[in-house]
Chains A and B, each alone.
Chain A
Amino acid sequence: MAESTATSTGARRRRVPRMTRTDRIVLVVLVGLPTILHVAFVWVPTLSSVALSFTDWNGVGGLDAIEWVGLRNYEQVFTIYPPFWPALRNNALWMLFLVLVPTAFGLFLAVALDKQIRGSRFYQSALYLPVVLAPALVGFITQIVFTRDTGLVNGLLGLTGEGAPDWLGDSTLNLPTVMLASGWRHAGYVMVLYLAGLKSVDHALREAAVLDGASEWQAFRHVIFPALKPINVVVLVVTVIESLRTFDLVYVINKGTNGLELLSVLITQNIIGEASRIGFGSAIAVMLLLVSTVFIVVYLGQVFRKDADR
């Protein structure tokens, strides 16, 4: 690090005095210490997940008790671990739903509220309010609203007794119900991101489109949406990562079982559940990592493109 400091400072275009030795040491420490911390507790565990996924370690005994088993964990996850496929399916559905429904709605809200209409601030605050609530609390509110016998929804619909839909207990209904709750929180988030993005879209461009006789929809479709491309990528990645991270909401409702299985829950169950299966849990974590990596790379590509151009 010290070497690269020296060379690049030397190559600076302006004649600024060279950094002193102390300055260089100070800089290396300032940058180095946090980097070591971040690497040690984020990247080392990430890579360890990959390594451990090829072992049959159950967490008991020292590191020398670790035995390499090749792809056995993956094979078992795919073949004899019943919750895996439902979890993968639920994650995929969750992702698809978040991208298609609340994200699209958030974009609609942003475009609508960007028109400087009266009461825009109020609408924004109200629609944004669920975003500051913890996902765990959203879980509690979901329960109050959707419980079968004492919930708001069945009460309003006048459905009581045995025949009433059990929104959170029925394994065919609870996934859509909980996705709806997470959409409630997600739409406001997307709205804020797009509102910021829309500020950078040239108003003159829009005015011109309208003057040329374009309808609202045409102006959106051909002028505004294309101009939002960079923010679209960011929103897409944020949405996907959010859906992969989902944990608290389902865990509060039923610990992520009976129709609410998610990869994040399965990984956690393999540590804090009865059986601590480190290698097995890691194999699932690696799959989560692979999916995330694709989108993280897309994100980095978008965000750092400007740097490369510079």
Chain B
Amino acid sequence: MTVTTRPERVAARGEPGERPRRTRRVRAPRVVLHLVLVVATTLWLAPIAYALYTSLRPYSDTAEHGYVSLARSLTLDNYITAFAGADLPHYFLNTMLVAVPAIVVTLLLASFVAFGISRFSWRLNIPLLILFTAGNLLPHQVIITPLYRMFLEIPLPEFMSESELLYDSYWGLILIHVAVQTGFCVFVLSNYMRTIPVELTEAATMDGASVLRQYRQVILPLCRPPLAALATLEFTWIYNDFFWPLVLMPTGEKRPIMAALANLRGQYFVDNNLVAAGALLTAVPTVVVFFLLQRQFVNGLTMGATKG
């Protein structure tokens, strides 16, 4: 796109008398623009910076001098208390127990469906795509009431969950994440798969490749970019999820970290300094993922919102 604009810019600058007027007209607003952006960015980062600052101050310091004051000393004690005292690693592990299988299964199932409905012309393609897309957009609270009752009715063998029900089990949480998130992933993946030339799979068919082989050896390897983007995005969403375990997993000890945090607050996180430390510690995985995989993250979001 930059390539197409360049000649025009050169032409505009080449015109006599054009140059000084243009630069003057552009420069002044640009300074204002930077000013606005600097103010916005500062405001946007301020709450996080303040939380960081608070978390590094001992409670005694803030109790004596107030929270808006210069720190007399900085310490990592709050992080140690939050991490060890509230046993955060235990809850991190709970989250991973749900997130990892949920992401793998979601991507697998969604890629199956996307493959079927984007590479073969069936009459049901569009209705199915609409079904998954619409299902992904429903607010979770619309389905929670019957879902809660269903989870209470569906038995699991004891070796799968002490609760012997989908309710209060990791299987239940994984299941609902998979069922809901498949909607979004089918939408993104089928849009992507549709851009892969038909000739590729047709050639494979001519060579006698089975449907399963076309999926595994032709389509799936080409889908690494959307799969990476979706994995990043789904990790963030499932990690950040608070709602499903709140209703479907009553045992506090078993809850993933985000839902556990609400309980921990009353017990362990008693002052702002500890709340800040706990909140920031909990945010670390998603923030790290964001900075390492920013491109995937943003790609995933835009792929989901726009077409193709």
Task: Please report A residues at the B interface, Cβ cutoff 8 Å.
Answer: 1, 4-5, 7-9, 11-12, 14, 16-17, 19-20, 22-23, 26-27, 30-31, 33-35, 37-46, 48-49, 52, 59, 109, 112-113, 115, 117-119, 122-123, 125-130, 132-137, 140-145, 147, 150-152, 155-156, 184, 188-189, 192-193, 196-197, 199-200, 203-204, 207, 211, 216, 230-231, 234-235, 237-238, 241, 244-245, 247-248, 251-252, 263-264, 267-268, 270-272, 278, 281-282, 285, 288-289, 292, 295-296, 299-300, 303-304, 306-307
Contact = CB atoms under 8 A, between A and B. Distances in A.
A41 B179 contact: yes
Nearest to A47: B146
A144 B275 contact: yes
Contacts of A135: 240, 242
A39 B131 contact: yes
B123 interface: yes
Interface in B203-220: 205-206, 208, 210-212, 215
Contacts of A12: 121
Contact of B115 (A17, A30, A52, A307): A30
Contact of A252 (B126, B183, B202, B262): B262
B120 A5 contact: yes
Interface string B52-86: 00100000001000111000000000000000000
7 contacts: A30-B113, A134-B258, A184-B44, A245-B141, A264-B141, A272-B247, A292-B142
Contact of A41 (B48, B142, B175, B307): B175
B158 interface: no
A156 B50 CA distance: 12
Nearest to A48: B146
Contacts of B258: 134, 136-137
B222 interface: no
A152 B47 CA distance: 9
B4 interface: yes
A288 B302 contact: no
Nearest to A22: B210
Contacts of B45: 126, 129
Given A9-B120, A144-B276, A117 B33 contact: yes
Contact of B67 (A125, A151, A263, A271): A151
> For chain B, which range describes its interface: under 10, 10 to 19, 20 to 34, or 35 or more residues?
35 or more
B187 to A, nearest CB: 8
A132 B296 CA distance: 13
A300 B130 contact: yes
Contact of A16 (B131, B206, B275): B206
Nearest to B166: A41
The 6 closest A-B pairs by CB, nearest first: A155-B68, A134-B240, A41-B179, A31-B116, A48-B146, A196-B302
